[in-house]
Amino acid sequence: MKRHPKLHALSSEHHAALVLARKLARHTGAWTVADATALQDRFARELEPHFRVEEELLLPALQDAGRMDLAERTSSDHTALRAFVAAGPTDDETSVRAFADRLREHVRFEEHELFPSCEALLSEAALARLPGREGRGTK
């Protein structure tokens, strides 16, 4: 899918998120302290910076463009994903799979709805504020 150059870095980060979601969906057994710690570390390195860029730069611009619905959906997903990671270990395999499903659906939403709307609605100046690959520090 062709993306505005300033959205390339965010879009490419989705691949790693989908790999993580697939791995978690296949997880069996109890969600251990080691599992939770590994996810928290990866989340802090990969997903949290991605979320912050969206929340600080894209969502306010979308709100200004009248797309509160997209901003609210994105923020709601981020909140739910953060809450699972912060909760730590769980004995409930279903919740691990639910997190994986939510992450996968969130990536799809961003690729199919959020980013195309950003490309259509946001000014070049708003998009220019997004860091490129060189300014991300991840991947």
User: Would residue 137 count as lying in a domain?
Assistant: no
| Nearest of 130, 107, 109, 115 to residue 25 by alpha carbon | 107
Task: Give the residue numbers spanning the domain of 38.
Answer: 5-132
d(CA 2, CA 94): 35
Give the total number of structural domains in the chain: 1
User: Would residue 139 count as lying in a domain?
Assistant: no
Cα separation values, 9 from 2, 84, 98, Å: 12, 25, 26
Residues 36-63 have pLDDT tens digits of: 899 999 999 999 999 999 999 999 999 9
The whole model's pTM is what? Answer: 0.89
Residues 71-119 have pLDDT tens digits of: 999 999 999 999 999 988 777 778 889 999 999 999 999 999 999 999 9
